[in-house]
Structures are given as C-alpha cells and as structure tokens.
Amino acid sequence: MSLMKVEDALSQLLENAAQIGTENIPLHDALGRVLAQDLTANRDQPPFDSSAMDGYAVKAANLANIPVRLQVVGEVPAGHRFPDRLSNREAVRIFTGAPVPEGADAILIQENTERDGAFLTALEGVTTGQYIRPAGLDFKKNDVLIVKGTLLEPAHLALAASMNHPEILVLRRPKVAILATGDELVLPGETPSDNQIIASNNFGVAALAKVVGADVLDLGIARDDKQAIASKIKQAQDAKVDILVSSGGVSVGEHDLVQDVLKEMGMDLAFWRIAMRPGKPLMAGKLGDCQVLGLPGNPVSAMVCAILFMQPLIRKMLGDSIPQRIERAILGDALAENDKRQSYLRATLSIDDSGKSVATPFAGQDSAMMAGLARASCLIIRPPHAKAANKGDPCDFIRL
C-alpha cells in the first residue's frame, strides 16, 4: 500500500476544518481566547481633559514672569469636578486624573510651587497644555481598537475593560475527546499486571490540545474489544466534541480495531498511513461533524502526530492563518541519507557564536522512547530521500 505525503495529508485535514462557533464570556475569562468580532470603543478615553500630575491648574499666561503669586480658589481630586471657571491669577489645587477646570490651560506641578495658605507662589513657568491629557487622547468612541481574530493577551483585556466591555465575543474552545486503546494499558497510580504498562498518551496529547486553546474530555482507556471502543466513541458523540483523538490500535495487526469500529459507526475515512517517521499508521476521518484523528500508539509517534496534525487542526478551527510554523537552523551533527518516509528527529536547539540556531539530533530516535522527547526542544524535518547531510548544513525544524 502506498503511503501519503505528510504535506498532502495535512492540507487535506485542514481543508476540512470549519471555523468554530462563538460565545460571549466575561472579560476575566478571556485571556488566551480568540476575539470573534472587531471591538469598538464605547466611550472616549480620557472622557475629559485630565491632569497628568498632582499640582495646580493655572492659566499659562499668568506665569509669564516668575515668581508670581496666585490665589488658590478650590481643590479637585480625581472623580470630582471644579464647579466654576478659573479667573486671572487664580489656581485650583488638582490631582492626577482629575478633570481640568474650565479656564485653566496648564498644570503647574506642586514641586515648582510654594504654598502659603490661600496663596501659592509659582517658581517655574508652564507652556500651554503642559501636563494636560486632552479628551480622547488614548482613543475615541467608535474607534476599532482590537481586531477580530486577535489572540487576547493581558494588555488587550485591560484595553477592552477601559473601552467599557464587561463581556466579549470569542471563538468557542474546540472540544477534543481523547481515548487510549489497548489491553496492555492501565492509568498512572493503578497496579499493572506483569504484562501491562502505564498509559501515557492521554496526558501528553491532552496537554498539547490545551496549550493551543482546546477543552479536553479524557475518555480514559478502552480495551482491545470492539464493543468497548464503540461505547467510548459514543460517549464522545454524546458530548458533541469537535475532534476525537484516539491513540493505539490503528496499525495492521488483528488487535488494531479502532478504524473498523469507527467505520462501522459511519466514519468517512480521509486518509490512513503517511510517509513519515514516526507516525506511519496515522489515520484521519469524519464522523458526522466530528473530525477524527487516530494516532499511532507508540508514545513518541502519538505526540509527534498530535504536534503535526492535531495542533494545526485546532489552530485552524480557531482562525489561525499559519497553523504550523517551520523555522530554519543549521545541523549540529551529520545525518545519514533518508529513506522514503519524512523523518521528524528529536533534537536540541542552541545558538552558535555567530548567532545562528543550531539543531542537534539525538542518537536514539526510537518511537517508544519518551525520555528523549521530553529532553528535545525541536523536531528536525528530514524530507523523503534527503541526501546525507554534514554538520553545518541547513535544515528545517518545528519548535517544541
């Protein structure tokens, strides 16, 4: 059976990915979410000419010759307003953020004054407009300040608050169900028999889904039994998940039942078996509206396929126009000629003396070895049939 090219499989998967729906959420919950509509200011900021300093609101022209004595006719803290108009040779005690009284056109900072009861002496001159923030300086009502599609960061939330939006329309988080399959698996903390191992894929794959903005439903482990697998898949359907990600049971052995069960439940198979290492048995399909990814069971294969396919799928659903980022480095070690499968080699990243990124592959690349994956900081991409490469040759990589 021929193997599909990685790039073809990925573009087919992403082509089928519809953008997720929207929901209105409180601003406090919006960190890391994707804005679903342009956000428009509901008011001017500041809404009035306001003082930028603690000091005195004055007429700049009165301070042409200093020192000069002015009468202090009132006081205006932030949140209040001076009720009258300032006359010549008058000043109003003012604090940062307070509205500038009518008739005043500058703020004299208090460090440049001497106060003497109801009078002050101005020791320095001021220019017109000094230390006044005019109304609308930051933004004006109806300005679009955060555009649709923005990944919301802390500064966006502060800005949205000052625009007077208590709630915000964002893309829903894609819901991802995660299922492990295999008689040999038990959960961490359970007691494995002599023939069993601890299931690890759900934990790594769930985390990879969460970091790109998904909600995860962990379905646990299904035994290698059609009924058991079908009942877990039914659970995912009942929860109306957007993506179902299984691991294990997608290769060619008699106990690899996942694809059969899914097809019996109505899945349209999109592709199965990719020219890549690790991850050859990767499978994808659609079960109703739900995208299905069948990851291989080997722990590194499951993680690498989740990075290469599941994460871009989630990102695409969240409107990311570049769902996968490929960077360039030079090799920190020589590599042998590659065969027909595109390889993803666990490697470390460093910076050499000239500032170039250097990717150095590990010697051991077995797809069952998790310790190495946890030490890796990138995956070097080796195209099919790549010629032997020397240390210092260029390479592509995906950052982990």
Give the interface with ligand LQZAQKY5 as residue ranges (CB under 6 A): 180, 182, 184-185, 197, 199-201, 247-252, 256, 278, 280-281, 296-299, 301, 367
Assign residue 58 a region: left if phi > 0, alpha if psi is -120 to 50, beta otherwise? beta
Pair 396, 327: CB distance under 8 Å: yes
182 binds, among ligand MOO, ligand LQZAQKY5, none (CB under 5 to 8 A by kind): ligand LQZAQKY5
Radius of gyration, alpha carbons of the chain:
32
Residue 321 one-letter amino acid: S
197 binds, among ligand LQZAQKY5, ligand MOO, none (CB under 5 to 8 A by kind): ligand LQZAQKY5
Shortest Å, Cβ 29 to ligand LQZAQKY5: 31
Q: In the complex with ligand LQZAQKY5, which residue's Cβ is closer, 70 or 250?
A: 250
**Interface with ligand MOO by CB under 6 A: which range of 35-43, 232-240, 278-286, 347-355?**
278-286
Q: In the complex with ligand LQZAQKY5, which residue's Cβ is closer, 149 or 192?
A: 192
- The Cα 92–Cα 90 span in angstroms is 7
Going by C-alpha positions, the residue among 114, 127, 56, 48 that lies closest to residue 89 is 56
Alpha carbon of residue 130 to chain centroid: 41
- The Cα 292–Cα 306 span in angstroms is 12
**Interface with ligand MOO by CB under 6 A: which range of 29-37, 43-51, 274-282, 377-385?**
274-282
Give the contact letters, 286-305, x = binds to ligand MOO (CB under 6 A), - = no.
----------x-x--x----
In what side-by-side order are the strands of the sheet with 55-58?
106-109, 55-58, 90-94, 68-76, 119-122, 113-116
Total residues interacting with ligand MOO, rule: CB under 6 A: 8
Pair 47, 135: CB distance under 8 Å: yes
Residue nearest ligand MOO, CB atom distance: 367
- The Cα 61–Cα 130 span in angstroms is 12
Q: In the complex with ligand MOO, which residue's Cβ is closer, 155 or 252?
A: 252
Instruction: Tell me the CA distances in angstroms from 194 to 64, 186, 292, one per residue in order.
Output: 93, 12, 33
When asked if residue 277 is in the footprint of ligand MOO (CB under 6 A), the reply is yes
- Segments in 109-220 forming alpha helices (H): 154-162, 201-211
Q: In the complex with ligand LQZAQKY5, which residue's Cβ is closer, 90 or 256?
A: 256
291 binds, among ligand LQZAQKY5, ligand MOO, none (CB under 5 to 8 A by kind): none
Going by C-alpha positions, the residue among 293, 308, 277 that lies closest to residue 384 is 277
Shortest Å, Cβ 191 to ligand MOO: 28
When asked if residue 279 is in the footprint of ligand MOO (CB under 6 A), the reply is yes
184 binds, among ligand LQZAQKY5, ligand MOO, none (CB under 5 to 8 A by kind): ligand LQZAQKY5
Q: In the complex with ligand MOO, which residue's Cβ is closer, 86 or 274?
A: 274
Which residues make up the interface to ligand MOO (CB under 6 A)?
A: 277-280, 296, 298, 301, 367
